[in-house]
A = this chain, B = another copy of it.
Amino acid sequence: MTRQTEIEITAYDWVPEMAQGKVKDMRVRWALNEIGLPYRVRLVVGAGNDKSAEHLAEQPFGQVPIYIEGDISLFETGAILLHIGDKDERLLPRDEIGRARAIGWMFAALNSVEPYAQVLSIVGRTASGKDWQEEAEDAVRPLLIKRLAQLSSALGERHWLEDRFTLGDLLMMDVLRTITEPDLVSVHPNLAAYVARGEARPAFQRALAAHMEVFADA
């Protein structure tokens, strides 16, 4: 048996049902499962509650996951994934161009697609019950619709965003599958098939099962 430094990640001990399956530790669990790296989970006080001083000392914004491996303590899912990706070429190609392109798609998922999904979701939440809710949602929805159409064009008939699966796909598929209005994605058959391709991966299934188990126990 190979001896290796143990990996620990944090996850919330509870989140509302609508967020279950969608918390950011899913992305890290998924990546670790893709390369068969074992990890242990430390649960922290769940979403929506006041964060402990201890949690804020480790993670300035009170989010999950944190990633600990030996002397390394990391936060921000994107940075954690990049760190994990450099361990195994199944997640990130080793050649300079392939690696840089995959990282480009990671940032595209987090900065060119997800923010517009977040705007729609935040407007929906903060306007909830107001008489201007629908009008406000209608005003921001086109921004996401435009980005999804551009992404659909970029993906075309390929299976992955580049010529093979990378962390760029893992992040993009997870962004797409957690959009609060799934019809905006499924109107593009190639994006729907892309998300289904991600969800069919055994590593995704194992990650999701482990992620959900926490809430079943709660």
Contact = CB atoms under 8 A, between A and B. Distances in A.
A90 interface: no
A104 B132 contact: no
A136 interface: yes
A74 to B, nearest CB: 5
Interface string A75-87: 1111100110000
Contacts of A147: 61
A180 interface: no
Interface residues of A, number: 49
Interface stretch (A9-17, A37-45, A95-103, A209-217): A95-103
Interface of A: 56, 60-63, 71-72, 74-79, 82-83, 96-97, 100-101, 103-108, 110-112, 114-115, 118-119, 122-123, 126-127, 130-132, 135-136, 139-140, 143, 147, 150-151, 153-154
14 contacts: A61-B150, A72-B100, A76-B103, A76-B105, A77-B107, A78-B111, A83-B103, A111-B114, A119-B119, A119-B123, A122-B140, A127-B136, A130-B132, A132-B132
B122 A107 contact: no
Contacts of A97: 71-72
